[in-house]
Amino acid sequence: MNTSRKLWISMTAGLLSVLPTVFAPTATATPADGGAEYVALGDSGAATTGVQKFDTGAPLLCARSTANTPKLIAADLGLHLDDRTCSSAKIKDLTTSQGAGIAPQFDALGPNTRLVTVHIGANDTNATRYILACHSGGAQPCGEPAWDRDIDAIADAYATALRQITTLAPNAKIFVDGWPLYIRDGGCPALVGLRPADAATVQRAFDRLNTVVAAGARTTGATYIDTRPRSTGHDMCAPEGTRWFDPILATETLLPYHPTLTGMRGIADIVVDGIRAAG
């Protein structure tokens, strides 16, 4: 097995094997009638910082953080938050249970909801499988064109989900935040096994995903927040404490390609600025 894959699998498996012995899963509470003031929807890109600031009150499988982007946004704006973000979530998990003790994320929405943030879609594109292939030195280019097709395929389901939010929370403003810069041109040694051409393929995939969700936001009346420009210099090749995502040689979260505490803060700042700019 390739060294990069061994590293990734061993780190992730180690984290998941330890957590069940420390934290017991709890059911997600049903919101009060009318829905929460601010509801956060999404996957691990919004939910978790890995082993850091682990939220013991959330369902274990969600690996939710007490210092994730939604919680920082809520604190900055002084809003009551119902954080439904959950690791490994797909678009279908917005309307169906993701697992034991995990209610559909849309259950938090209602007429009292004023703000909804959405960060979801990467898992629907099989991103993890393609990224692993790119780190394993496969054929060039490592993920195209199949990855492009999988990204484009989420467009209808994504737009439908945004329309459903409008129906369930008719008084809410909806903000969709995209994916920041993960990999600088050429990559770096911390991204073990990722050749420069493959590094470009991975970043192009995230940029394409941004294009798809931005289009979904535009056609449904949601606001798209572009996090990429301000993330320059904070990619996985940046030094610890500066980077917004951990690389394969993860030292902060133990979860490669996932946000660090610095990353969650950086993304939250961008989203808060976008929300304030929209009034």
Q: Which residues, including other chains, have CB under 8 Å from residue 132's CB and lie 6 or more apart?
A: 5, 8
In the chain, where do the E strands start and end?
38-42, 81-83, 115-119, 173-177, 223-225
Q: Which residue among 4, 44, 65, 231 is the active-site one?
A: 44
10 is catalytic: no
Q: Which residues, including other chains, have CB under 8 Å from residue 5's CB and lie 6 or more apart?
A: 132, 135, 136, 193
44 is catalytic: yes
In 5-153, where do the E strands start and end?
38-42, 81-83, 115-119
In angstroms, the CA 233 to CA 245 distance is 11
Pairing of strands 115-119, 81-83: unpaired
Q: Which residue among 119, 135, 234, 258 is the active-site one?
A: 258
Residues identified as active-site: 44, 258
